[in-house]
Amino acid sequence: MDISKYRSEVQNHIKDLENYRGVDPKRSFQACDELEKYGERIHDDALIGFARFSRGELYYADNSMAEFYREMLSCMRPLENEGEWGYVAMANNLLGIMSLNRGNAPFAMDYYIKAISICHQHRLGDLEWIIHMNMAALYLSIEEYPNALQHAKMGMDYILEHENMPDRIQNLAVSYLDIGKAFLSMGEVDKAKEYAMKLEGECLRALPSMDALVVYCFGARLFHRNNENEMRNRCIMEISRITSSEIMIMDVFDDLYDYLKLLLNLSEESDGIFEDEFKRLIKEVEKLTEKTKVRNLQKKVLSLKARYYREKKMTKEYRSATTEFFEITEKMEQENALMIRNTINLRNNLNDLAMINKEVEQENKELHLKSETDALTGMYNRFKLNTYGDEAFERAYAKQSPFAIEILDIDYFKQYNDNYGHQSGDVCIRAVADMVLSLRAFGNVFCARYGGDEFVIIYENYTEEEVYKMAMELRRRVMGKAFEHKYSLASDIVTISQGICWGVPDADSRLYDYLHGADAMLYQVKEESRNSVKLGRIKEQQ
């Protein structure tokens, strides 16, 4: 919003709002009231919408969620009237955060998609990455970890490309955290630890205490999972030092909730230190969640208390907690009904409901496709491979039909990249990818980029001989292109090495066995001679 067009009195109110935000909330609220009054007097929707949006942000920081919700809904119409699309996008983004915290992921997704649609339409790339970060948090909450990784990495890429952006270290820390949490939840502890090291090396020293809090929560869970108890206990000490009644609970609840679950498990297994810390922290969190009036958060806290009372055989307290849990569940149903009414009213206020719904549907399709597609080659990525591979393997097991996986890579690709340059390397990868994709013409063949210069091919219902012939055909096509590679030790042109595992799935075999078998064949190829194909049966790998 251009504040230069307003008289000095209005500009001073806006400066007061910014200067006292987080320092003197009362002065900030007063500035919002004065701005709205002046806007109403001169019939200026931009000023009215800005005042309501800013007041909503203040309520958010104060953990007053009912008031926040009212202000955010009321600010959008005047902001839309004036074309203040950045504020409209961020209002939808904040409503998405609130909806997720209230336990309604579909509503949150709806708000996020609308915010991204606005960003695309009005070229607001400086805001869109924020929404992708929040979508990562949504996918983490519903245990869709590959999608969480996709959106967190989109946010991280934007941050890494903009070295001079405000609060860059804090934003980078959030992206590293979400990626680390996704890997940890997927059981990929080494990758999670990689991002924990990035957090410590690049971010932690520069973070304010509230941002450091969530880093230590993640660290405690990671180190516990990796049996590094000394490091875990250091994180617990730091969390105990930081936590206080000044926490903006909406921003850190999920991290504290996961951490409290860890403390509760530790208190059941060992001495009273962890139990004392659990009891101290859950009191703090309970006070803050009560202030928000967000029933979903209160319900989660109660579930932890009830579990604690049950483990300690505190029958009276356990019954009281479960009764309160039931009452909050009923109130949540009433809240959800209110959210539905408000959302319907909000949508009815839009000029073209059909167009918005069409955009939302299309955006969902595009985001889903993007989460499954490799940006460089246009072929499916590793995330899609995981889902497709499981489905194809189950089909083969159910029908007792042949199933094969091929892993291939480009020989001496690092030397190609180092000497011809990364752009030429990308051209080479795309060319090989196109030839890999050409195998789909045979039918029942799935192709994906595994990462770097590696590709995976799944063959369904083909004999060993047929799979070998197709693999050899692919090798001939690559060599037939005769791309120069003076730095290869295998040939003076670009070549590939291929490992294949074939078999008929039985009750004891898994998709992993076939991937591992194909990888072992590829390793043997590289040990014995480059530029060749090696095919083995699954039984030979077990």
Whether the Cβ atoms of residue 515 and residue 489 lie closer than 8 Å to each other: no
Q: If 0-12 CB within 10 Å is exposed, 13-18 middle and 19+ buried, where does residue 36 land?
A: buried
CA 157 vs CA 148, 150, 224: distances in Å: 14, 11, 29
Residue 348, SS3? helix
Domains 9-99 and 124-206 share a fold: yes
The Cα-based distances of 423 to 22, 416, 419, 420, 494 in angstroms read: 47, 11, 11, 8, 16
Q: In the structure encoding, which two tokens stand for residue 117, read together? A: 């649609």
Strand partners, 410: 496
Please provide the DSSP assignment of 230-286 as one string.
Answer: HHHHHHHHHHHHH--TT--HHHHHHHHHHHHHHHHHHHHHS-HHHHHHHHHHHHHHH
> How far is Cα 306 from Cα 524, in angstroms, rounded to an integer?
55
Integer Cα distance of 112 and 117 in angstroms: 9
pLDDT of residue 310: 87
> Positive or negative, the Cα torsion across 171, 173, 179, 185?
negative
Identify the CA nearest to 207 among candidates 182, 174, 178: 174
pLDDT tens, per residue, the chain with 542 residues: 666 677 777 788 788 788 777 678 888 898 899 889 888 888 889 899 999 999 999 888 876 777 888 899 899 999 998 899 999 999 999 999 888 877 778 888 989 999 999 998 899 989 999 999 999 999 998 888 999 999 999 999 999 999 899 899 999 999 999 999 999 999 999 999 999 999 999 999 999 888 899 999 999 999 999 999 999 999 999 988 887 656 777 778 888 999 999 998 888 766 678 888 899 898 988 888 887 777 788 888 888 888 888 888 898 888 888 888 877 777 666 656 655 555 555 445 444 444 545 555 555 555 555 567 887 888 898 878 888 898 899 889 888 999 999 999 999 999 999 999 989 999 999 999 999 999 998 999 999 998 889 999 999 999 999 999 999 999 999 999 999 999 998 889 999 999 999 999 988 888 888 999 999 899 888 887 655 677 777 754 44
Amino acid 485: pLDDT: 93
CA distances for 451 relative to 4, 47, 376, 410, angstroms:
51, 50, 11, 12
Q: Residue 532 — φ and ψ, nearest 5°?
A: -155, 175
Beta bridge partner(s), residue 403: 460, 503
DSSP structure string for 391-453: HHHHHHHHHT--EEEEEEEETTHHHHHHHH-HHHHHHHHHHHHHHHHGGGGGSSEEEEEEETT
CATH number of this structure's domain 382-541, picked from the four choices 3.40.50.720, 3.30.70.270, 1.10.10.10, 3.40.50.2300: 3.30.70.270
**How far apart are alpha carbons 191 and 180 in whole angstroms?**
7
- Residues whose CB is less than 8 angstroms from the CB of residue 212 and which lie 6 or more positions away in sequence, other chains included: 204, 238, 242
* Residue with token string 């699954």: 538
- Closest C-alpha among 475, 282, 513 to residue 393: 513
Other Cβ atoms less than 10 A from the Cβ of 363: the count is 16
- Residue with token string 């990308």: 426
What string of H, E and C letters represents the secondary structure of 144-186?
CHHHHHHHHHHHHHHHHHCCCCCCHHHHHHHHHHHHHHHHHHC
Are 515 and 407 within 8 A, CB to CB?
yes
Picking from 276, 179, 176, the residue whose alpha carbon sits closest to that of residue 236 is 276
What's the CA gap between 398 and 390, in Å, rounded?
12
- What pLDDT is stored for residue 421 in this prediction? 92
Residue corresponding to tokens 């159910």: 398
- The whole-model pTM stands at 0.57
In whole angstroms, what is the distance from residue 141 CA to residue 258 CA? 11
Q: Are 496 and 410 in contact (CB under 8 A)?
A: yes
Q: Where are the alpha helices (DSSP H) in 293-352?
A: 295-311, 315-348
Strand partners of residue 405 = 458, 501
425-434: long-range pairs with CB below 8 Å, 24+: 426/376, 428/483, 428/494, 429/376, 429/377, 429/453, 430/376, 430/377, 431/481, 431/483, 432/478, 432/494, 432/496, 433/376, 433/377, 433/378, 433/379, 434/377
Contacts of 217 by beta carbon, 8 Å cutoff, 6+ apart? 235, 239, 252, 255, 256, 258, 259
Instruction: Identify the helix (H) or strand (E) that includes residue 499.
Output: strand 496-503
| Token pair for 391 | 């489905």
Geometric angle at alpha carbon 21, from 15 and 25, rounded to 5°:
115
pLDDT (0 to 100) of residue 366: 56
Taking the C-alpha atoms of residue 477 and residue 268, their distance in angstroms, rounded to an integer, is 61
Strands 533-537 and 496-503: parallel
CATH class of 9-99: mainly alpha
Listed by start position, the domains of the chain span: 9-99, 124-206, 208-336, 382-541
Name the CATH code of domain 124-206 (choices 1.10.10, 1.25.40, 1.20.120, 3.30.70). 1.25.40
